[in-house]
Homo-oligomer: A and B are copies of this chain.
Amino acid sequence: MLSNKWINMTDTLIDNLSIDCVIFGFDNEELKILCIKRNTEPDLGMMALPGGFVYLQEDLDKAPARRLKDLTGLTNVYMKEVGTFGNVNRYPLRRVITIAYYALIKISDYVIHAGEDAQEATWIPVKQVPKMVFDHNTIFTAALLKLRERVRMEPIGFNLLPEKFTITELQTLYEQILDTKFDKRNFRKKLAKMNLLIDTNEKQQNVSHRAAKLYSFDTKVYESLIKKGFVFDL
């Protein structure tokens, strides 16, 4: 056991080890990630993934959760490791390796909590991500690949959609993530077989066409599907 009896190390940052977050969100049209403008040197003002350093007395996976909370106000967010990026010269000032994570959040939740962070954070469609600092484009690409891989193993839509959503929204989400098109009828059939959706008996409001039914996820079924390593091929 480490002890901080003699020296208070709680606020000490490890300066050769950082974390970066690829935060995915879905606005019912496009899959997006949250980018910031750097407010420190080097490359002040350039676009970047939100990231930061790890405290000496902080478990590694707590660091991205902390960063995410600072930025969005959200806690208990779905978050997975993407991988490690450790080329010698990836960071210009000194040797820093970074651990990348991706997070899935509901944009609607984020909107409520926005503005707590001073940095300009913006949602950028994954198909229009600009040149970012350091190796952040590489990290982003790796994160998107991981998401595509994972989406077949776990019913991830759960984390990106609002509490109540239409089946078309769910289908659009999967089409955006996997960059494909699905047949509407087949999609609904497969989904139906999973017993994953609960009919809320509500409908869309104020749409200029037939209003779609709103559904929510059945958390129980969701948990058990994950547990048995279900393959979620849509």
Interface residues of A (CB under 8 A from B): 1-2, 14, 16-17, 54, 56-61, 81, 83-89, 92, 94-95, 97, 99
- Tell me which of B59, B94, B97 contacts A87 (CB under 8 A): B59
Q: Are A60 and B86 in contact (CB under 8 A)?
A: yes
- Tell me which of B17, B57, B58, B87 contacts A17 (CB under 8 A): B17
Name the residue of chain B whose CB is nearest to the CB of A12.
B95
- Chain A contact residues: helix, strand, loop or mixed: loop
Give the copy number: 2
Q: Are A61 and B81 in contact (CB under 8 A)?
A: no
Q: Are A95 and B2 in contact (CB under 8 A)?
A: yes
Q: How far is the CB of A93 from chain B (nearest CB, A)?
A: 9
Residues of B contacting A89 with CB < 8 Å?
1-2
Residues of B contacting A87 with CB < 8 Å?
59-60
Residues of B contacting A14 with CB < 8 Å?
16, 95
Q: Are A88 and B17 in contact (CB under 8 A)?
A: no
Residues of B contacting A97 with CB < 8 Å?
17, 60
Q: How far is the CB of A51 from chain B (nearest CB, A)?
A: 15
Q: Are A94 and B60 in contact (CB under 8 A)?
A: no
Residues of B contacting A84 with CB < 8 Å?
60, 81, 84, 99
Q: Measured between alpha carbons, how far is A165 from B83 in the docked complex, in Å?
A: 34
Q: Measured between alpha carbons, how far is A94 from B1 in the docked complex, in Å?
A: 8
Q: Measured between alpha carbons, how far is A1 from B60 in the docked complex, in Å?
A: 27
Residues of B contacting A85 with CB < 8 Å?
60
Q: Measured between alpha carbons, how far is A77 from B14 in the docked complex, in Å?
A: 32
